Amino acid sequence: HIDKYRKQSRVWVRETPQVYAEITKPYIDGEPVARLQWVYNILDGTSESDRVVVADDDEENGFVVLPDFKWDGVALDSLYLVVIVRRRDIRSLRDLGSQHLPLLKNIRDKVEAAVEKTYGVGADQLRLYVHYQPSYYHFHVHVTNINFEGKGMLAGRAHLLDSVIDNIENIASDYYQKASLSFVLGSDDALWPLLANKE
């Protein structure tokens, strides 16, 4: 997380399905599981349980929602929550397929209802999106007030949850396995040297 916010030059990456299969996926699969222990602690209730806004305990389609550290917890115009799914087999956007539509729709519907009930912010004031590349490889969804502006919502990083659902449901069930995805990457990111040498 510290490296993510350090000043560094940015590079534009166009990741084809082949590049993903040959470079990115092995990189993701090689990430030590210990790097996600803090996520598992949240899901297991052994840490940050006092910060959880909503919890759905279903093992397939459940999740927990808690405030992101970027939000002060008070100013609703800058509301920022993160949804962490309970499943441990979805690492990134690339793993999503039609079998995950119930999970994605459950997140959208329950989170929108919970945010309105808890904070009085309606669905028409929320932006739900997924990062690719994400900061950590356990599937999660960002929820922000539409008045909040941050780098994480820029093209080349954010994919709106509604669009993700639509792409899978109405274009192709394996859309994210077939699509070329472009994204911005910091030049100090450990993935960049692997991608830079892909020729």
Q: Which residue in 100, 138, 140, 159 is the catalytic one?
A: 140
- Average pLDDT on 88-109 reads 98
Q: Are strands 63-67 and 54-56 parallel, antiparallel or unpaired?
A: antiparallel
CA distance 85 to 78: 23
Which pLDDT value is given to residue 32? 92
Per residue in 183-194, pLDDT tens? Answer: 999 989 999 999
Whether this model's pTM surpasses 0.75: yes
- The answer to whether residue 2 scores a pLDDT higher than 80 is no
CA distance 11 to 147: 27
Q: Is residue 140 annotated as part of the catalytic site, yes or no?
A: yes
| Strands of 54-56's sheet in order across | 54-56, 63-67, 80-85, 140-145, 126-131, 158-160
CA distance 76 to 44: 28
Main-chain dihedrals φ then ψ at residue 198, nearest 5 degrees: -75, -15
Main-chain dihedrals φ then ψ at residue 92, nearest 5 degrees: -155, 180
CA distance 142 to 134: 11
Per residue in 137-195, pLDDT tens? Answer: 999 999 999 999 877 777 889 999 999 999 999 999 999 999 999 999 998 999 999 99
If residue 186 lies in a helix (H) or strand (E), which one and from where to where?
strand 181-186
